[in-house]
Chains A and B, each alone.
Chain A
Amino acid sequence: MRRRRERTKEKKLQERSQKQLQDKVGDRKVSADLEENIRFISQVLGDGADLITRKFTIQYAPDRQAALLYLDGMSNVPLLDNFVLRPMMLQGEQVKNKTELWDLIFESLLHTGETKKQTEMRSMVESLLSGDAILFVDGCTEGAVIGAKGWQQRGVTDPKSESVIRGSREGFTENLRVNTALIRRRLKDPDLRMKNYKIGVRTNTNVSVMYIEGVVDDAVVKEVEDRLKSIELDGILESGYIEEMIEDTHWTPFPGIQNTERPDAAVANLLEGKICILVDGTPNVLIAPAVFSQFYASPEDYYERYLIATFLRGLRLVAFLTALLLPALYIAFISFHPEMIPSKLAIAMAAGRASVPFPSIVEALVMEISVEILREASVRLPGPIGPTIGIVGALVIGEAAVSAGLVSPLMVIVVGMTTISSYANPSYNAAISVRLLRFPFMIVAAAFGLYGIMMSLMILLVHLIQLRSFGVPYMSPLAPLRISDVKDTLIRVPWPWMKKRPVTFRPGDDRREGET
């Protein structure tokens, strides 16, 4: 951590990511010779097959050639055709002076909103690569960058991994701008800050950091920015790259940063004084800092009645413990503490296990691993047959395994309960860590029974308590206890009682009401 922060200071992201281009382009300026400009661009891009170069004559000045360059598929072609090429090629009246023409183009011939004059070749190439069109006119030492980003993209659809019954159906898309707009639309606050970074030496991925000035803890913003700037990687393809590059520690199965596909969840977190990191190319937005309890809260908790939400949170806690401990408890009860099971059940269990040739730990490990395989396979399976195979796997194989005497019927129930419980967790990345931790618990239970389980829980607890996410203790507000914040952890109180923001995230302005 320390080393990383030291590195942060010496280098700046912008310099580094542009170094690559620098090597090729240098600080070359736009030349007055049109052909030379075109040649240069196509050379920089290595005669890219998707580079479209449209040369044309401007109707105003028939002696003057011009060229529009854009990358096929990255730009909005109808826009360029109708509002760039058509006016230039069709609108008459001649103009003599060179500079006059260049001004005229900007004054009346370019019918697009986002246009910019540019002399640096380097930034022109950058714009070209990010989907804008560039325009050169013969005899001008300036080029124009025309904002025409318009590639094929998925529309705003349901968030797949975080569906709710009540609440917005919009989910983030792969487009950074659409995503920032989705947030802005919900948060019309002039204090909403958005800072852009380009991360990834080669991918030049756009990354936006959003927060509400005055609500957020400035130290955390600085920490996030420092860590973002320190990233040295050639490519950022998903927010997961960023997550791992900036998290506090790698030696934990628990996520230190939350991610969401839901704009409403992102806004709710911004309002709590957290920071959103949006990465171009992925619908998963990062939220930092994160604490343990928020992985067990669903956006819906805040939309449904508070009593129901509180009940659901309790239920999720039970599901969490079930997913983590049930197989371990099964092993502990079967092989260490059968006296704790009601006698009738114990007899039934003994009968069920009588034909099983393995000790319970092997039985449980085999079943749990098979279910994990099944789960993994059902993600890969082609859509329509996925559920079918799931049912076949779970029911048919389970049933067959029982009648073949490989596993006991109770084990099948245990595995089923465990699997289903782990799906009750609203956030996938926290659920997956529980799946991983289940196995050590099973092994410990097989060695020391309930005592072993408790000892491992102690170790797990101390690990969780040690963790921090951007300086915020991971188990807060439970340890350290902040009574005022418990209102939104295990329980959710009605909204009128939540007039203060959680102090856990040290907000600059802790009152929710009475602000402008």
Chain B
Amino acid sequence: MRTSIFALAPLASAASAARFILHIPNTPLVNPSSLLSTTHATLQSSGAPLDSYITRSNSFNFNNVSVGSYLATIHSRDYAFEPLRIDVTLEEVVEGSGDQREKVAAWQTFIGNEWDNKGESRGEGGNGLVIEAQPRIPKVYYQERAGFSPLSFLKNPMILMGLFTLIMVFGMPYLMDNMDPETKAEFEEMQKKGVMGSGNTNTAQQIQNFDLASWMAGKTDTPPSGTSPAPQSQGKKRG
């Protein structure tokens, strides 16, 4: 029984042997003529995969492909290609005529997905179908060495925070000194009111400690909240 099947197998494959071409189009990403001669495509179904190397016309020729569903992968050193699903079937030309022809159909497929989960169609037709195979991304094998650059050094948040504190500690007193007296007074007034600095918490505290009685009594003084601007007084002393 088994021998008869084996005897029939070559006959069947000879009777239904499709041929098609996988072609790499010229895209902005890659000029296919620059691909290495080791670029090749494999058709995997059962047993050893069918293998075809790139030709001068940037294509892979597959002859004598028997009926089945194949996973087509293009292996290139420099680019990653999308995997394809290629189905070779026998279909009657005219229904009921018994005259069968090969039909080749190609779709996108996704690794790690169900086989029936087909993507976009990549072509369909009879023998000699040309299927376009798209390169997706160039392969980058090397890791960039993170060399020393002052900019990346400055981008570090810790360094930025340190620098900011440094500026505040040393820079502010000088800034205060160089202000003309009027602005300075205004600024101090503003700080007292709590617009600058920790203004928000100040307002919150003000609301919390709101002295209704004194307000009713018509007191106009700002309440002596605990946040007297300490750095300001220090700065004054130094100057």
Say whether A associates with B: no
* B-to-A contact residues, CB < 8 Å: none
* A-to-B contact residues, CB < 8 Å: none
